[in-house]
Structure 1
Amino acid sequence: MTAVTRAPFPAPTRAEYCVIACAEVWRGVGEILASPMGTIPALGARLARLTFAPDLLLTDGEAMLVDADGTVEGWLPYRRHLDLVTGGRRQVMMGASQLDRYGNQNISCIGDWERPRRQLLGVRGAPVNTLNNPTSYWVPRHSRRVFVERVDMVCGVGHDRAGGARYHHLDRVVTDLAVLDFATPDRSLRLASLHPGVTVEEVREATGFTLTVPDAVRPTREPTPRELELIRTVLDPPGARDREVPG
Protein backbone atom coordinates (compact mmCIF):
# COMPACT_ATOMS: atom_id res chain seq x y z
CA MET A 1 0.00 0.00 0.00
CA THR A 2 1.34 3.44 -0.92
CA ALA A 3 1.61 5.87 1.98
CA VAL A 4 -0.38 9.08 1.68
CA THR A 5 1.80 12.17 2.04
CA ARG A 6 0.03 15.18 3.45
CA ALA A 7 0.97 18.53 1.90
CA PRO A 8 2.84 20.79 4.33
CA PHE A 9 0.75 23.44 6.06
CA PRO A 10 1.48 26.81 4.39
CA ALA A 11 3.70 29.08 6.46
CA PRO A 12 2.03 31.87 8.46
CA THR A 13 1.45 35.11 6.60
CA ARG A 14 2.30 38.57 7.91
CA ALA A 15 -1.42 39.11 8.56
CA GLU A 16 -1.57 35.96 10.67
CA TYR A 17 1.35 37.13 12.80
CA CYS A 18 -0.60 40.35 13.31
CA VAL A 19 -3.67 38.36 14.42
CA ILE A 20 -1.52 36.52 16.96
CA ALA A 21 0.01 39.76 18.24
CA CYS A 22 -3.48 41.23 18.68
CA ALA A 23 -4.72 38.10 20.42
CA GLU A 24 -1.90 38.44 22.97
CA VAL A 25 -3.42 41.75 24.10
CA TRP A 26 -6.08 39.70 25.93
CA ARG A 27 -3.82 37.09 27.50
CA GLY A 28 -4.33 36.81 31.24
CA VAL A 29 -6.96 39.55 31.53
CA GLY A 30 -9.70 37.26 32.89
CA GLU A 31 -13.41 37.96 32.58
CA ILE A 32 -13.30 41.31 30.83
CA LEU A 33 -15.18 42.81 27.90
CA ALA A 34 -13.05 42.90 24.75
CA SER A 35 -13.75 45.77 22.36
CA PRO A 36 -11.60 45.22 19.26
CA MET A 37 -11.97 47.70 16.39
CA GLY A 38 -10.90 46.49 12.97
CA THR A 39 -10.72 43.16 11.19
CA ILE A 40 -7.44 41.85 12.58
CA PRO A 41 -8.07 42.99 16.19
CA ALA A 42 -11.50 41.30 16.05
CA LEU A 43 -9.93 38.09 14.77
CA GLY A 44 -7.34 38.33 17.54
CA ALA A 45 -9.96 38.67 20.27
CA ARG A 46 -12.02 35.79 18.90
CA LEU A 47 -8.91 33.61 18.63
CA ALA A 48 -7.96 34.43 22.22
CA ARG A 49 -11.45 33.41 23.35
CA LEU A 50 -11.15 30.06 21.53
CA THR A 51 -7.70 29.27 22.93
CA PHE A 52 -6.06 30.83 25.99
CA ALA A 53 -8.71 33.34 27.21
CA PRO A 54 -11.98 31.37 27.60
CA ASP A 55 -13.43 33.87 30.11
CA LEU A 56 -13.19 36.77 27.67
CA LEU A 57 -16.48 38.52 26.90
CA LEU A 58 -17.11 39.49 23.28
CA THR A 59 -19.69 42.00 22.11
CA ASP A 60 -21.42 42.41 18.77
CA GLY A 61 -20.79 46.15 19.10
CA GLU A 62 -24.41 46.90 19.95
CA ALA A 63 -26.33 45.16 22.74
CA MET A 64 -25.35 41.50 22.81
CA LEU A 65 -22.60 39.32 24.22
CA VAL A 66 -21.53 36.76 21.63
CA ASP A 67 -19.40 33.64 21.36
CA ALA A 68 -16.37 33.54 19.07
CA ASP A 69 -18.58 32.24 16.24
CA GLY A 70 -21.18 35.00 16.70
CA THR A 71 -23.69 32.92 18.70
CA VAL A 72 -25.57 35.20 21.11
CA GLU A 73 -24.73 34.40 24.74
CA GLY A 74 -26.47 37.22 26.55
CA TRP A 75 -27.86 40.74 26.59
CA LEU A 76 -25.62 43.71 27.38
CA PRO A 77 -27.82 46.76 28.04
CA TYR A 78 -26.21 50.12 27.43
CA ARG A 79 -26.21 51.09 31.11
CA ARG A 80 -24.32 47.92 31.98
CA HIS A 81 -21.91 48.57 29.11
CA LEU A 82 -21.14 52.01 30.55
CA ASP A 83 -20.51 50.45 33.96
CA LEU A 84 -17.86 48.26 32.36
CA VAL A 85 -16.39 51.16 30.38
CA THR A 86 -15.93 53.45 33.39
CA GLY A 87 -14.83 50.79 35.85
CA GLY A 88 -11.82 49.31 34.11
CA ARG A 89 -13.65 46.08 33.17
CA ARG A 90 -13.31 46.57 29.43
CA GLN A 91 -10.17 46.41 27.28
CA VAL A 92 -10.17 48.27 23.98
CA MET A 93 -8.07 47.95 20.86
CA MET A 94 -8.56 51.07 18.74
CA GLY A 95 -7.09 52.43 15.55
CA ALA A 96 -5.05 55.61 15.24
CA SER A 97 -4.54 58.15 12.47
CA GLN A 98 -1.65 59.60 14.48
CA LEU A 99 0.27 58.41 17.56
CA ASP A 100 3.10 60.11 19.39
CA ARG A 101 5.83 58.62 21.56
CA TYR A 102 3.69 58.76 24.74
CA GLY A 103 0.64 57.15 23.17
CA ASN A 104 -1.44 60.26 22.52
CA GLN A 105 -3.80 59.31 19.70
CA ASN A 106 -5.54 61.39 17.04
CA ILE A 107 -8.55 60.20 15.04
CA SER A 108 -10.24 63.57 14.58
CA CYS A 109 -8.47 65.79 12.05
CA ILE A 110 -5.18 66.41 10.26
CA GLY A 111 -3.80 69.93 10.46
CA ASP A 112 -4.77 72.91 12.60
CA TRP A 113 -8.12 72.57 14.39
CA GLU A 114 -9.32 75.92 13.03
CA ARG A 115 -8.64 74.97 9.40
CA PRO A 116 -7.87 71.22 9.21
CA ARG A 117 -6.52 69.77 5.98
CA ARG A 118 -8.61 66.65 6.50
CA GLN A 119 -11.56 65.74 8.70
CA LEU A 120 -11.47 62.23 10.15
CA LEU A 121 -13.79 60.25 12.47
CA GLY A 122 -14.00 62.79 15.26
CA VAL A 123 -12.99 62.35 18.89
CA ARG A 124 -15.68 59.69 19.44
CA GLY A 125 -15.18 57.77 22.71
CA ALA A 126 -11.38 57.89 22.69
CA PRO A 127 -10.94 60.04 25.86
CA VAL A 128 -13.33 57.88 27.88
CA ASN A 129 -11.75 54.69 26.56
CA THR A 130 -8.20 55.67 27.37
CA LEU A 131 -8.90 57.21 30.78
CA ASN A 132 -11.25 54.50 32.02
CA ASN A 133 -10.04 51.14 30.70
CA PRO A 134 -6.90 49.48 29.32
CA THR A 135 -6.24 50.43 25.71
CA SER A 136 -4.06 49.13 22.90
CA TYR A 137 -3.77 50.30 19.31
CA TRP A 138 -3.78 48.62 15.92
CA VAL A 139 -1.96 50.31 13.01
CA PRO A 140 -2.18 48.38 9.71
CA ARG A 141 0.30 50.69 7.94
CA HIS A 142 3.32 51.59 10.08
CA SER A 143 4.58 54.91 8.72
CA ARG A 144 5.80 58.39 9.65
CA ARG A 145 2.33 59.72 8.81
CA VAL A 146 0.98 57.76 11.78
CA PHE A 147 3.91 57.78 14.22
CA VAL A 148 4.50 61.50 14.62
CA GLU A 149 6.44 63.74 17.00
CA ARG A 150 3.25 65.59 17.99
CA VAL A 151 -0.36 64.67 17.17
CA ASP A 152 -2.49 67.40 15.60
CA MET A 153 -5.24 66.80 18.17
CA VAL A 154 -5.32 64.63 21.29
CA CYS A 155 -8.25 62.21 21.26
CA GLY A 156 -6.90 59.18 23.10
CA VAL A 157 -4.90 60.29 26.15
CA GLY A 158 -1.21 59.39 26.41
CA HIS A 159 0.99 58.79 29.44
CA ASP A 160 2.18 62.40 29.62
CA ARG A 161 -1.40 63.71 29.89
CA ALA A 162 -3.28 61.12 31.95
CA GLY A 163 -2.64 62.79 35.30
CA GLY A 164 -2.83 59.61 37.32
CA ALA A 165 -6.28 58.54 36.08
CA ARG A 166 -7.16 55.38 38.02
CA TYR A 167 -7.82 53.05 35.09
CA HIS A 168 -5.54 54.62 32.49
CA HIS A 169 -3.30 51.94 31.03
CA LEU A 170 -1.82 51.90 27.54
CA ASP A 171 -0.68 48.36 26.87
CA ARG A 172 0.83 48.04 23.39
CA VAL A 173 0.68 49.02 19.75
CA VAL A 174 0.52 46.31 17.08
CA THR A 175 1.45 47.27 13.52
CA ASP A 176 2.07 45.46 10.26
CA LEU A 177 5.81 45.60 11.05
CA ALA A 178 6.16 45.06 14.78
CA VAL A 179 4.79 45.21 18.30
CA LEU A 180 5.56 48.27 20.40
CA ASP A 181 5.02 48.74 24.13
CA PHE A 182 5.61 51.40 26.79
CA ALA A 183 8.12 49.55 28.99
CA THR A 184 10.48 52.50 29.39
CA PRO A 185 11.19 54.78 32.38
CA ASP A 186 9.22 57.68 30.87
CA ARG A 187 6.48 55.39 29.47
CA SER A 188 7.35 56.22 25.85
CA LEU A 189 7.15 53.72 23.01
CA ARG A 190 9.66 50.90 22.74
CA LEU A 191 10.19 48.26 20.08
CA ALA A 192 9.05 45.00 21.71
CA SER A 193 9.06 42.47 18.85
CA LEU A 194 9.59 42.26 15.10
CA HIS A 195 7.40 40.35 12.67
CA PRO A 196 9.31 37.89 10.43
CA GLY A 197 11.24 39.55 7.62
CA VAL A 198 11.24 43.00 9.26
CA THR A 199 14.42 44.70 10.46
CA VAL A 200 14.99 47.22 13.23
CA GLU A 201 16.08 49.78 10.65
CA GLU A 202 12.80 49.40 8.74
CA VAL A 203 10.84 50.17 11.89
CA ARG A 204 13.08 53.13 12.76
CA GLU A 205 12.72 54.52 9.25
CA ALA A 206 8.92 54.22 9.41
CA THR A 207 8.68 56.02 12.79
CA GLY A 208 8.66 59.82 13.00
CA PHE A 209 10.39 60.05 16.39
CA THR A 210 13.26 58.33 18.16
CA LEU A 211 12.02 54.92 19.22
CA THR A 212 13.60 53.09 22.15
CA VAL A 213 15.18 49.88 20.86
CA PRO A 214 16.56 47.28 23.29
CA ASP A 215 19.86 45.52 22.60
CA ALA A 216 18.01 42.32 21.65
CA VAL A 217 14.58 42.46 20.00
CA ARG A 218 12.62 39.22 20.11
CA PRO A 219 10.53 37.93 17.20
CA THR A 220 6.74 38.12 17.36
CA ARG A 221 5.30 34.83 18.58
CA GLU A 222 4.62 32.34 15.81
CA PRO A 223 1.07 30.95 15.47
CA THR A 224 0.65 27.36 16.59
CA PRO A 225 -0.73 24.85 14.07
CA ARG A 226 -4.04 24.86 16.00
CA GLU A 227 -4.21 28.66 15.88
CA LEU A 228 -3.52 28.68 12.15
CA GLU A 229 -6.25 26.12 11.61
CA LEU A 230 -8.74 28.22 13.58
CA ILE A 231 -7.81 31.42 11.74
CA ARG A 232 -8.01 29.83 8.30
CA THR A 233 -10.96 27.46 8.63
CA VAL A 234 -13.14 28.83 11.45
CA LEU A 235 -12.58 32.55 12.01
CA ASP A 236 -11.66 33.90 8.58
CA PRO A 237 -12.00 31.41 5.69
CA PRO A 238 -12.50 34.25 3.12
CA GLY A 239 -9.13 35.78 4.06
CA ALA A 240 -10.25 39.28 5.08
CA ARG A 241 -7.05 39.51 7.17
CA ASP A 242 -4.91 39.49 4.02
CA ARG A 243 -6.83 42.44 2.61
CA GLU A 244 -5.97 44.45 5.71
CA VAL A 245 -2.33 43.36 5.74
CA PRO A 246 -1.35 42.05 2.29
CA GLY A 247 1.25 39.29 2.18
Structure 2
Amino acid sequence: MPLYRRIRRPRILIALATAVTGVLAVTLTLALTVTTYDHTSPRAARDKASGSVSGAVDCRKAKCVALTFDGGPSPTTPALLDILKRDHLHATFFVQGKGHIAKYPKILRRIADEGNEIGNHTWNHRILTRIGTDDARQELTRTQDAIERITGTAPVLMRPPQGRTNRKVASICRELGLAQVLWSVTAKDYETTDSALITERVLDQTHRDGIILLHDLHKGTVPAVPGIIRALTQRGYTIVTVSQLLAPARPRPGMVYRP
Protein backbone atom coordinates (compact mmCIF):
# COMPACT_ATOMS: atom_id res chain seq x y z
CA MET A 1 0.00 0.00 0.00
CA PRO A 2 2.71 2.58 0.84
CA LEU A 3 4.37 1.81 -2.49
CA TYR A 4 1.08 2.40 -4.32
CA ARG A 5 0.69 5.79 -2.70
CA ARG A 6 4.21 6.84 -3.65
CA ILE A 7 3.56 5.94 -7.27
CA ARG A 8 -0.03 7.27 -7.48
CA ARG A 9 0.57 10.72 -6.04
CA PRO A 10 3.08 11.88 -8.70
CA ARG A 11 0.69 10.69 -11.43
CA ILE A 12 -2.07 12.81 -9.95
CA LEU A 13 0.25 15.80 -9.78
CA ILE A 14 1.36 15.26 -13.36
CA ALA A 15 -2.27 15.00 -14.48
CA LEU A 16 -3.14 18.22 -12.64
CA ALA A 17 -0.12 19.99 -14.07
CA THR A 18 -1.07 18.84 -17.55
CA ALA A 19 -4.65 20.05 -17.08
CA VAL A 20 -3.51 23.45 -15.80
CA THR A 21 -1.07 23.78 -18.68
CA GLY A 22 -3.85 22.96 -21.09
CA VAL A 23 -6.12 25.60 -19.60
CA LEU A 24 -3.34 28.18 -19.77
CA ALA A 25 -2.64 27.27 -23.38
CA VAL A 26 -6.31 27.62 -24.31
CA THR A 27 -6.51 30.94 -22.44
CA LEU A 28 -3.40 32.21 -24.20
CA THR A 29 -4.75 31.10 -27.57
CA LEU A 30 -8.05 32.90 -26.95
CA ALA A 31 -6.20 36.02 -25.84
CA LEU A 32 -4.13 36.00 -28.99
CA THR A 33 -7.15 35.52 -31.24
CA VAL A 34 -9.29 38.29 -29.68
CA THR A 35 -9.54 41.13 -32.17
CA THR A 36 -7.82 44.27 -30.98
CA TYR A 37 -7.68 47.81 -32.29
CA ASP A 38 -6.37 51.18 -31.19
CA HIS A 39 -8.83 53.09 -29.06
CA THR A 40 -8.91 56.07 -26.77
CA SER A 41 -11.40 58.26 -24.93
CA PRO A 42 -12.29 61.86 -25.75
CA ARG A 43 -10.68 63.03 -22.53
CA ALA A 44 -7.47 61.10 -23.16
CA ALA A 45 -7.30 62.48 -26.69
CA ARG A 46 -7.69 66.04 -25.38
CA ASP A 47 -5.09 65.53 -22.65
CA LYS A 48 -2.49 64.46 -25.20
CA ALA A 49 -3.21 67.35 -27.54
CA SER A 50 -1.80 70.84 -27.34
CA GLY A 51 -2.97 74.16 -28.67
CA SER A 52 -6.06 76.25 -28.40
CA VAL A 53 -9.64 75.36 -29.24
CA SER A 54 -11.28 77.21 -32.09
CA GLY A 55 -14.86 78.08 -31.32
CA ALA A 56 -16.84 78.97 -28.22
CA VAL A 57 -16.65 75.63 -26.40
CA ASP A 58 -13.54 74.20 -24.75
CA CYS A 59 -14.43 70.78 -23.33
CA ARG A 60 -11.27 70.79 -21.23
CA LYS A 61 -13.13 73.35 -19.13
CA ALA A 62 -16.80 72.82 -19.92
CA LYS A 63 -18.84 69.79 -18.87
CA CYS A 64 -19.46 68.47 -22.37
CA VAL A 65 -21.48 65.67 -23.90
CA ALA A 66 -21.76 64.86 -27.61
CA LEU A 67 -25.17 64.33 -29.17
CA THR A 68 -25.19 61.98 -32.16
CA PHE A 69 -27.85 60.53 -34.46
CA ASP A 70 -27.55 57.44 -36.65
CA GLY A 71 -29.40 56.18 -39.68
CA GLY A 72 -30.71 59.31 -41.37
CA PRO A 73 -31.47 61.49 -43.09
CA SER A 74 -35.15 60.67 -42.84
CA PRO A 75 -38.50 62.49 -43.07
CA THR A 76 -38.27 63.10 -39.30
CA THR A 77 -34.88 64.83 -39.56
CA PRO A 78 -36.17 68.34 -40.45
CA ALA A 79 -38.14 68.49 -37.19
CA LEU A 80 -34.97 67.57 -35.31
CA LEU A 81 -33.01 70.24 -37.17
CA ASP A 82 -35.68 72.78 -36.19
CA ILE A 83 -35.15 71.87 -32.53
CA LEU A 84 -31.37 72.15 -32.74
CA LYS A 85 -31.57 75.46 -34.58
CA ARG A 86 -34.03 76.89 -32.07
CA ASP A 87 -31.69 75.98 -29.19
CA HIS A 88 -28.55 77.10 -31.06
CA LEU A 89 -27.05 73.62 -30.87
CA HIS A 90 -25.25 71.30 -33.26
CA ALA A 91 -25.10 67.51 -33.35
CA THR A 92 -23.22 64.85 -35.26
CA PHE A 93 -25.22 62.89 -37.84
CA PHE A 94 -23.86 59.51 -38.93
CA VAL A 95 -25.78 59.12 -42.15
CA GLN A 96 -26.56 56.06 -44.20
CA GLY A 97 -26.56 55.76 -47.98
CA LYS A 98 -29.27 53.48 -49.32
CA GLY A 99 -32.75 54.79 -48.59
CA HIS A 100 -31.39 57.87 -46.84
CA ILE A 101 -28.69 59.96 -48.53
CA ALA A 102 -29.86 58.70 -51.89
CA LYS A 103 -33.49 59.51 -51.09
CA TYR A 104 -33.16 62.76 -49.12
CA PRO A 105 -30.17 64.71 -50.47
CA LYS A 106 -31.81 68.07 -49.66
CA ILE A 107 -32.14 67.12 -46.00
CA LEU A 108 -28.49 66.06 -45.92
CA ARG A 109 -27.51 69.41 -47.41
CA ARG A 110 -29.54 71.19 -44.76
CA ILE A 111 -27.79 69.22 -42.00
CA ALA A 112 -24.46 70.50 -43.29
CA ASP A 113 -25.63 74.03 -44.08
CA GLU A 114 -26.85 74.56 -40.52
CA GLY A 115 -23.45 73.73 -39.05
CA ASN A 116 -24.00 70.18 -37.93
CA GLU A 117 -21.32 67.53 -38.30
CA ILE A 118 -21.76 64.66 -40.74
CA GLY A 119 -20.23 61.21 -40.35
CA ASN A 120 -20.29 58.04 -42.43
CA HIS A 121 -22.56 55.15 -41.35
CA THR A 122 -22.02 52.97 -44.46
CA TRP A 123 -24.23 52.55 -47.50
CA ASN A 124 -26.25 49.42 -46.66
CA HIS A 125 -25.63 49.21 -42.90
CA ARG A 126 -23.78 45.92 -43.33
CA ILE A 127 -21.74 44.65 -40.39
CA LEU A 128 -18.22 45.48 -41.55
CA THR A 129 -16.54 42.77 -39.49
CA ARG A 130 -18.60 40.09 -41.25
CA ILE A 131 -17.82 41.00 -44.84
CA GLY A 132 -14.68 41.01 -46.95
CA THR A 133 -12.21 43.88 -47.12
CA ASP A 134 -13.28 45.03 -50.57
CA ASP A 135 -16.97 44.99 -49.66
CA ALA A 136 -16.31 46.86 -46.41
CA ARG A 137 -14.30 49.48 -48.24
CA GLN A 138 -17.09 49.87 -50.79
CA GLU A 139 -19.66 50.39 -48.00
CA LEU A 140 -17.63 53.36 -46.80
CA THR A 141 -16.30 54.84 -50.04
CA ARG A 142 -19.70 54.88 -51.70
CA THR A 143 -21.10 56.81 -48.75
CA GLN A 144 -18.10 59.14 -48.62
CA ASP A 145 -18.48 59.99 -52.27
CA ALA A 146 -22.22 60.66 -51.96
CA ILE A 147 -21.80 62.91 -48.93
CA GLU A 148 -19.01 64.90 -50.57
CA ARG A 149 -20.96 65.25 -53.79
CA ILE A 150 -23.99 66.65 -51.96
CA THR A 151 -22.34 68.77 -49.25
CA GLY A 152 -18.95 69.54 -50.77
CA THR A 153 -17.09 68.02 -47.82
CA ALA A 154 -16.01 64.44 -47.14
CA PRO A 155 -16.51 63.20 -43.56
CA VAL A 156 -13.60 62.49 -41.21
CA LEU A 157 -15.75 60.43 -38.83
CA MET A 158 -17.57 57.13 -39.20
CA ARG A 159 -19.63 54.90 -36.97
CA PRO A 160 -19.52 51.17 -37.67
CA PRO A 161 -22.96 49.52 -37.75
CA GLN A 162 -23.75 48.03 -34.33
CA GLY A 163 -20.40 49.41 -33.16
CA ARG A 164 -18.64 46.33 -34.51
CA THR A 165 -15.07 46.91 -35.56
CA ASN A 166 -11.73 45.14 -35.74
CA ARG A 167 -8.25 45.56 -37.14
CA LYS A 168 -9.47 45.10 -40.71
CA VAL A 169 -12.03 47.87 -40.33
CA ALA A 170 -9.47 50.10 -38.63
CA SER A 171 -7.05 49.58 -41.50
CA ILE A 172 -9.69 50.56 -44.07
CA CYS A 173 -10.60 53.62 -42.04
CA ARG A 174 -6.96 54.71 -41.86
CA GLU A 175 -6.78 54.38 -45.62
CA LEU A 176 -9.92 56.50 -46.09
CA GLY A 177 -9.08 59.11 -43.44
CA LEU A 178 -11.92 58.13 -41.12
CA ALA A 179 -11.88 58.01 -37.32
CA GLN A 180 -14.30 55.57 -35.69
CA VAL A 181 -16.78 56.83 -33.11
CA LEU A 182 -18.59 54.56 -30.65
CA TRP A 183 -20.82 55.69 -27.76
CA SER A 184 -21.45 55.51 -24.02
CA VAL A 185 -25.18 56.26 -23.93
CA THR A 186 -27.87 54.40 -25.82
CA ALA A 187 -31.60 54.79 -25.33
CA LYS A 188 -32.32 51.75 -27.49
CA ASP A 189 -34.85 53.93 -29.24
CA TYR A 190 -35.20 51.31 -31.95
CA GLU A 191 -37.19 49.14 -29.55
CA THR A 192 -39.64 51.69 -28.13
CA THR A 193 -41.81 54.61 -29.20
CA ASP A 194 -42.07 55.90 -25.62
CA SER A 195 -40.39 59.32 -25.67
CA ALA A 196 -40.44 59.56 -21.87
CA LEU A 197 -38.60 56.24 -21.61
CA ILE A 198 -36.05 57.36 -24.21
CA THR A 199 -35.44 60.53 -22.21
CA GLU A 200 -35.10 58.60 -18.96
CA ARG A 201 -32.59 56.17 -20.45
CA VAL A 202 -30.43 58.95 -21.82
CA LEU A 203 -30.38 60.90 -18.58
CA ASP A 204 -29.64 57.82 -16.48
CA GLN A 205 -26.52 57.01 -18.52
CA THR A 206 -25.07 60.42 -19.33
CA HIS A 207 -21.82 61.53 -17.74
CA ARG A 208 -19.22 64.12 -18.65
CA ASP A 209 -17.44 63.44 -21.96
CA GLY A 210 -20.13 60.94 -22.94
CA ILE A 211 -21.36 60.28 -26.46
CA ILE A 212 -25.12 59.87 -26.79
CA LEU A 213 -26.46 57.58 -29.52
CA LEU A 214 -29.97 58.19 -30.86
CA HIS A 215 -31.74 57.47 -34.17
CA ASP A 216 -33.74 60.34 -35.60
CA LEU A 217 -35.69 57.99 -37.89
CA HIS A 218 -37.54 56.25 -35.03
CA LYS A 219 -40.95 57.54 -34.03
CA GLY A 220 -40.32 58.31 -30.36
CA THR A 221 -36.89 59.89 -30.66
CA VAL A 222 -37.34 63.39 -32.06
CA PRO A 223 -40.19 64.19 -29.62
CA ALA A 224 -37.82 63.20 -26.79
CA VAL A 225 -35.02 65.54 -27.85
CA PRO A 226 -36.37 68.83 -26.37
CA GLY A 227 -36.72 67.24 -22.95
CA ILE A 228 -33.27 65.65 -23.20
CA ILE A 229 -31.71 68.99 -24.13
CA ARG A 230 -33.54 70.82 -21.37
CA ALA A 231 -32.58 68.31 -18.68
CA LEU A 232 -28.94 68.10 -19.75
CA THR A 233 -28.67 71.87 -19.78
CA GLN A 234 -30.17 72.06 -16.29
CA ARG A 235 -27.54 69.57 -15.13
CA GLY A 236 -24.78 71.80 -16.40
CA TYR A 237 -23.89 69.99 -19.62
CA THR A 238 -22.77 71.69 -22.79
CA ILE A 239 -24.02 69.80 -25.85
CA VAL A 240 -21.44 69.56 -28.63
CA THR A 241 -20.47 67.64 -31.75
CA VAL A 242 -17.98 64.80 -31.61
CA SER A 243 -15.18 66.91 -33.06
CA GLN A 244 -15.84 69.63 -30.49
CA LEU A 245 -15.69 67.00 -27.75
CA LEU A 246 -12.23 65.90 -28.94
CA ALA A 247 -10.74 69.37 -29.50
CA PRO A 248 -8.00 70.49 -29.50
CA ALA A 249 -7.24 66.92 -30.63
CA ARG A 250 -8.20 66.12 -34.19
CA PRO A 251 -9.89 62.86 -35.15
CA ARG A 252 -7.19 60.34 -36.00
CA PRO A 253 -7.95 58.04 -38.96
CA GLY A 254 -8.49 54.43 -37.89
CA MET A 255 -8.61 55.27 -34.18
CA VAL A 256 -11.68 54.19 -32.20
CA TYR A 257 -13.03 56.87 -29.87
CA ARG A 258 -15.18 55.62 -27.03
CA PRO A 259 -15.84 57.21 -23.62
Q: TM-score by structure 2 length?
A: 0.27
Q: TM-score, normalised by structure 1?
A: 0.28
Larger strand proportion of the pair? 1
Structure exhibiting the larger radius of gyration computed from Cα positions: 2
Question: If each structure's helix is expressed as a fraction of its own residues, which one has the higher value?
Answer: 2
Taking CA–CA contacts closer than 8 Å with sequence separation of 6 or more, which of the two structures ends up with the larger relative contact order? Answer: 2
